[in-house]
């Protein structure tokens, strides 16, 4: 597959590794995606669990859930994905690339190198490149990133967010439903549903941000704390002072 050509804006952020351990996310305090979506596709986790994060990230997740339940006692954070080895990152990049080709009726063998690279760049808007360089690790490989939504324990269903996690469309943008021109809402996006989705996304972001997380600029569900993306977003908010990442790539045995 063609190599990526564009660089992520946070790759220049230095990593000062804290050596904080990866710890399991308690299944009795949060709700997990079951079966795990990528493992169900055949992603090569081996014996490694995706439901691990750095110790400090777990503390912040528990704080975010406490803030959430102060407003909605019956809601919990739904952990869709957390720790992700680089091999799994590569698997999902390849899987999404193949999905895009199938959706567009394209054959890999018929694409030019530039056409392949252009599609791959689209895929890299959703998935970080599966790089092995320790200076530029994929966020999920650091144990600092989580993909989450909200879960209602009364209905036993996830809360309406307007689009599923990992949807390869403009709806994945955090403010998609807030920025819709009201007289040009897509047929399937009625005004009431759009407003509800936007309010739920805002609530999730508010709780996570108060707990110290930063949200991915292009994904309503992706939050991180302590990795390069987090440090870069902190700089955008607080100014160009020096902010280092404290979590680099880590491997579970």
d(Cα 251, Cα 50) in Å, to the nearest integer? 12
d(Cα 205, Cα 221) in Å, to the nearest integer? 9
pLDDT tens figures, 80-124: 999 999 999 999 999 999 999 999 999 988 999 999 999 999 999
Which pLDDT score, from 0 to 100, does residue 101 have?
94
Q: Is the dihedral of CA 233, 221, 17, 88 positive or negative?
A: negative
Asked if 166 and 127 count as a contact pair (C-beta separation under 8 A), the reply is no
Q: pLDDT below 50 — which residues of the chain?
A: 1-2
Q: What is the pTM of this model?
A: 0.91
Three-state DSSP class for residue 80: strand
d(Cα 34, Cα 133) in Å, to the nearest integer? 31
Which pLDDT score, from 0 to 100, does residue 186 have?
55
Q: Is the dihedral of CA 15, 17, 20, 21 positive or negative?
A: positive
CATH topology for 22-87+131-238 is Muramoyl-pentapeptide Carboxypeptidase; domain 2 (3.30.1380)
Q: Can you tell me which residue has the tokens 């403010």?
A: 175
Which pLDDT score, from 0 to 100, does residue 188 have?
53
Catalytic residue positions?
219
Q: Is the dihedral of CA 41, 43, 48, 52 positive or negative?
A: negative
d(Cα 31, Cα 16) in Å, to the nearest integer? 31
Which pLDDT score, from 0 to 100, does residue 2 have?
45
Which pLDDT score, from 0 to 100, does residue 237 have?
85
Which pLDDT score, from 0 to 100, does residue 227 have?
98
**What are 20's two structure tokens?**
């904080």
């Amino acid at each position: 597959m063609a190599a990526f050509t564009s660089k992520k804006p946070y790759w220049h952020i230095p990593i000062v590794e804290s050596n904080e351990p990866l710890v399991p996310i308690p299944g009795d305090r949060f709700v997990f995606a079951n079966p795990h979506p990528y493992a169900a596709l055949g992603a090569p986790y081996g014996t490694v669990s995706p439901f691990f994060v750095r110790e400090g990230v777990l503390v912040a997740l528990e704080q975010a859930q406490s803030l959430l339940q102060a407003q909605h006692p019956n809601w919990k954070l739904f952990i869709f994905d957390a720790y992700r080895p680089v091999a799994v990152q590569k698997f999902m990049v390849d899987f999404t690339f193949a999905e895009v080709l199938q959706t567009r009726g394209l054959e890999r063998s018929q694409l030019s190198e530039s056409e392949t690279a252009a599609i791959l760049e689209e895929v890299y808007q959703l998935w970080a490149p599966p790089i092995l360089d320790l200076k530029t690790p994929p966020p999920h490989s650091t144990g600092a990133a989580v993909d989450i939504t909200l879960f209602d324990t009364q209905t036993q269903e996830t809360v309406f967010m307007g689009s599923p996690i990992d949807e390869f469309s403009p709806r994945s943008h955090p403010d998609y439903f807030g920025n819709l021109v009201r007289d040009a809402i897509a047929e399937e996006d009625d005004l009431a549903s759009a407003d509800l989705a936007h309010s739920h996304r805002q609530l999730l972001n508010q709780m996570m941000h108060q707990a110290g997380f930063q949200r991915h600029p292009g994904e309503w569900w992706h939050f991180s704390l302590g990795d390069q993306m987090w440090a870069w977003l902190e700089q955008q908010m607080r100014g160009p002072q020096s902010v280092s990442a404290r979590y680099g790539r880590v491997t579970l045995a």
